[in-house]
Amino acid sequence: MAGHSKWKNIAHRKGKQDAARGKIFTRLSKEIMVAARQGGGDPTANARLRLAISKAREHNMPNDNIERVIKKATGELEGVNYEEISYEGYGPAGVAVYVEVVTDSRNRAASDMRHIFSKYGGNLGESGCVSWMFDKKGIININKADITIDEEELLLLALDAGADDLIGDEDAFEIVTEPDSFEQVKEQLVAADIQINSSEITMVPQNTISLTGDDAKKMLKLMEKLEENDDVQNVYANFDISDEDMQKYHS
The pLDDT value recorded for residue 251 is: 57
**Alpha-carbon gap, residue 219 to 86, rounded angstroms:** 19
Task: Tell me whether strands 172-177 and 232-237 are parallel, antiparallel or unpaired.
Answer: unpaired
**Same-domain pairing of 170 and 223:** no
Question: Which ranges of 22-145 does DSSP label H, i.e. alpha helix?
Answer: 23-39, 47-58, 63-74, 106-119
What are the tens digits of pLDDT across the range 27-57?
999 999 999 999 999 999 999 999 999 989 9
**Alpha-carbon gap, residue 79 to 99, rounded angstroms:** 24
What are the tens digits of pLDDT across the range 94-115?
999 999 999 999 999 999 999 9
Q: Using the predicted structure, report yes or no on whether residue 12 has a pLDDT greater than 50.
A: no
The contacts of residue 47 (CB under 8 Å, 6+ apart) are 39, 183
Better-predicted residue by pLDDT, 1 or 55: 55
**Of 51, 74, 97, which one is at a domain's C-terminal end?**
74
Q: Using the predicted structure, report yes or no on whether residue 2 has a pLDDT greater than 50.
A: no
Would you put residue 60 in left (φ > 0), alpha (ψ -120 to 50) or beta? left
CATH of the domain at 104: 3.30.70.980
Band the pLDDT of 3: cuts 50, 70, 90: very low
Question: Which ranges of 133-178 does DSSP label H, i.e. alpha helix?
Answer: 151-161
Residue 32 lies in a domain: yes
Q: Using the predicted structure, report yes or no on whether residue 23 has a pLDDT greater than 90.
A: no
Q: Which pTM does this prediction carry?
A: 0.83
Range of the domain at 127: 83-132+207-240
Question: For the chain, what percent of residues have pLDDT higher than 90?
Answer: 74
- What is the total count of domains within the chain? 3
**Same-domain pairing of 222 and 170:** no
What are the tens digits of pLDDT across the range 136-176?
999 999 999 999 998 999 999 999 999 999 998 888 999 99
Q: What is the mean pLDDT of residues 189-198?
A: 92
Q: What is the mean pLDDT of residues 196-212?
A: 92
